[in-house]
Chains A and B, each alone.
Chain A
């Protein structure tokens, strides 16, 4: 009986694992194949053919696209955290009229589907003269990342003991010093987590990036991949698309693995009250 439950448990684990990893595995597989091979089903690679990977960078400015994505995602993370932490201090620590209303409004913003705000956002971006520029994309993506950054950081900020802040005030700290020198180090785990989520959201964002850019040189990775064309209008270059997807997914996976250790380490360090 014990044996059976154990087998059942591992079968279930295998099923979950297979379900989440198989699509990515198949993408890697396909990226090594080309031509009509792509349309036969195979579960094991026959040979390692990197021609698709070369083609990704040769046929379009894919390097520029990756660079754009890094700039946009990096700026979005930096701005979200900077605004998120300062906003969290206000929401978590300062009593003012309309605080919960404002907090609700911020949450409400994230409820609208992207499509609903697309046309309005387009007008906004055009009015600012940011159409087909990276700052335009950064501004648009902030709308997606700020609500949850503010919420998570506010919740975290509220749980920090009030006495620490008061001790800092008695020591002569201004609110800004309290945020920067006392709260920021304590909130590192939360900041890393939300920063990572913001990075992923911004890195994978498609609709805004597609709508607010015009030229290939200003595109980020997701629309660049989607708009890849083959040698004829009727051919979808699956091999190249898969190669491109693998190239842009690997850094994300690496980053999550690296920071995951940090998140866990940070959370346990913060859990012990000081």
Chain B
């Protein structure tokens, strides 16, 4: 059990800067998920914590101890790799026992720990098999088992589910969540899958190009994205973005002029906003409705039926497309002209720099983020 603290951690490979000064406080027992597009540095950040890469500058503390110069095995961590990384020539039992053996644990101790972990993961009937005789899901369990027997303070997962098929992925995801509730160990989990991030995380760290974009609970990030990047990254289908101009600033929010359409008043604080400034309005596909009184008009280009809901792709002039999600089966066809109504309280406004404008207090459902949970990105 330990907290993990990163202080201005940087990593460069030669002249390439991969991690640009990350500050992060991970509390004891917390489940933290690093998400971001590929190449954003999330795996590198995990490997820095694991000690598989050297930190170029900055400090890393695990359980209050500065571990910058400690070998991976001395940091009290265990890591589960995407490719499982089992030792192919060893049996499942030996794979799990290897770390304990190197740590010079007693035979009886090793045996009881390995068997207990195997029972927990329901692989106790596979202990004599070689990795090549196992299915992908079983291999991943062995890899998790190998991490458990080391009784680490911090579990590190590097995209552990991306080599599994969809059904197994859901099942293993639930098992990892259960493992977290059972052990209460600190866990750091890297993924590019936002469903995994949303379902598993206590807090999500969104990374982009080696920088922390936002840190917060899954719902905070979903409802209160700090910037355009986070807004666009979380949620599927992606949030719609509409460029518009500020037409009025009042006590109940900012009125913006939509292109070739009416205006809408978004309940955000206008901090430093000027008239006629260009801003971006963001709205999720679920927060728009087809309605005859709608402010935006356009032509349906494509209908995607998903069963429980359907997606409409609407061309609102120019090359701009908006995505709308409506429940149930579609009642419209491609080519139809429709009008869209936007729920103003569900709209987000972003400055030209990409930064989100804060909502006026009491304007929407989720609790505002408490100060210590907000992003500490430099």
Q: Which residues of A contact B (CB under 8 A)?
A: 161, 163-164, 166-173, 177, 181-182, 185-186, 269-270, 272-274
Contact = CB atoms under 8 A, between A and B. Distances in A.
Contacts of A186: 88-89
A177 B102 contact: yes
B130 A170 contact: no
Contacts of B98: 168, 171, 173, 181
Contact of B88 (A168, A170, A177, A274): A274
A168 B87 CA distance: 9
Contacts of A163: 81-85
Which of A168, A177, A186 has the most CB atoms of chain B within a 10 A radius of its CB?
A: A168
A185 B91 CA distance: 13
Interface residues of B, number: 27
Instruction: Tell me which of A161, A169, A171, A272 has the highest count of chain B C-beta atoms within 10 A of its own C-beta.
Output: A171
A172 B87 contact: no
Nearest to B99: A171
Interface string B66-79: 00000111000111
Contacts of A273: 88, 132
A182 B85 contact: no
- Chain B's interface: helix, strand, loop or mixed, by majority? loop
Contacts of A274: 86-89, 130-132
Interface string B101-117: 01100000000000000
B89 A172 contact: no
Interface in B171-217: none
28 contacts: A161-B83, A163-B85, A164-B87, A166-B52, A166-B72, A166-B79, A166-B81, A169-B51, A169-B71, A170-B52, A170-B73, A170-B77, A170-B79, A170-B99, A171-B73, A171-B98, A171-B99, A172-B73, A172-B103, A181-B98, A185-B89, A186-B88, A269-B132, A270-B88, A272-B132, A273-B88, A274-B88, A274-B130
B50 interface: yes
Nearest to B152: A170
Contacts of A182: 87
Contact of B85 (A166, A172, A173, A272): A166
Given A163-B83, A274-B130, A274-B132, A169 B73 contact: yes
A222 B87 CA distance: 43
Nearest to A177: B102
B83 A170 contact: no
B85 A171 contact: no
B42 interface: no
